[in-house]
Structure 1
């Protein structure tokens, strides 16, 4: 049965290609995938998001334009902007007549509002817990106010004593048609993502240099000082920066390579770019942190987060993994259809619970 669905996004960046990171890509493909299944979807997001979507602008343009995250994160100024925006968003959701809300905002207001008003909602948690949202999640779990995390490792961080019945793990999924399998590589390595300290781009360059493997780095330079101080000194010769590419061009470049370097320095919740590379046939040399072992599995090799020499050894080991293995792992575990199936099941559980009047504390 087709549903009327509101997808609420976070506001730091537009939900539009080229994507600034995994959260933007996830929201964009979620809306696109739900529409393809016949649902009527409204995206509540920054007004400069993809105009192909039905958009309800929470703010006129993404906030990083006016309140750069690295300058305003955690400040009263930005918090006030976001609180005002999501207060208006919950009011709009009340008027929207949606069957269910899929909340990707990372703001505390939507789940609290869902709990209080019996609004059917599925909130996806894409980051490790932080205080304001953690309290809202703990207070808002109900049969109609459901939660998903993208890895079992993240579930343990959000609910150390055990997740409620209204929460489950739903791994991120990608459209495999957009990340075609390439049977051979050229012997080089690739790194892709946001260039910022938590992503460890410099470590990839160090490891490739030690291993003697050519490396191309792709992605938006989110943190300019980090790029200039920690990444640029490693560029030159076989280590180069290839810019920020759109999906098809990025997929082509991934497919030409023989291995992916994935180097998070934080409690990585999932690693969308890792499965994009794996879909193209790339084994992965990764830091062992957060959900990386859970997602990559036996299709990669691992090193400690601060060990460039160990990562160089992992790079050499990973290059010996047959390319069909990572592709098959993504097909089995991380397809867009699998993700959408699980989300749709959660939507219907939330809708049924709100309709049946189950007590808020039953979960």
Structure 2
């Protein structure tokens, strides 16, 4: 019988969030498994919220990372989608029950028994799950994604969470089919890729931000058609009723009524920023305008693969700042201050080395 594989990574051991090297094990390769060397892993704000216990108390040690890409090293005997040398990726979950109504609808991310890529127990092997701040991944091919070979792996990594989180509602609500006018609130990791998707889908795209300093970058670097400073009452009033869709990527509680006022009749407002607290909104203007509010949680495997294929066709990836893995503690500090050019990505393949 094949033995488990020793893996090196970086982990948090308590809610201080401090990361340090660790050695742990992945399961032995099964007949339906794909084993790949991790080359890059994105750094998501939710990694920080998990390891610091902001949402729940995790089981330590925790190896974070759910924007995982690499190169296939070995495949099981029943694997059909992958061969050695292919580019592969894993997003935020690695298993689900497979039999409930939600799974039958191919929405495993909403299964009550979903197995997250880290800080879960996978019933397939009884082992705890560990994420992509590590050098090797073993995963059932049903939860492994094919990355187009033309996409650079470093820029593709954040697509697996940041990209998926905005792609899913875009496709679910049919954005981009009728010359739609689209708005994105916030221009960070999620916001910038939402803007890139909107332009690639042929929409007129507006960035809504509290920071006037981001306008030049939004227009010149990312192709925004319009830019609204949300703290400017005149700009907000002039833009009232002009947008068919808004995706709000800002985490934390912030006023929604001024943003909802930007929607055209029957427009849709989708919030995807993870925040703690209750939303407050005036329902009367919604009623008279026929507008609606929705949300989204990552994406299904089908949506993830569709997004990656689309990105391959359009040569579209995230804008990133690449870092060595031993910079992760400083990266978290900078991320919390908003000091990152859209998304940090860890260069796992070149910088994660065994400790002496």
TM over 0.5: no
Q: Which has the higher helix share?
A: 1
Q: Which has the higher strand share?
A: 2
TM-score of the superposed pair, with normalisation by structure 2: 0.30
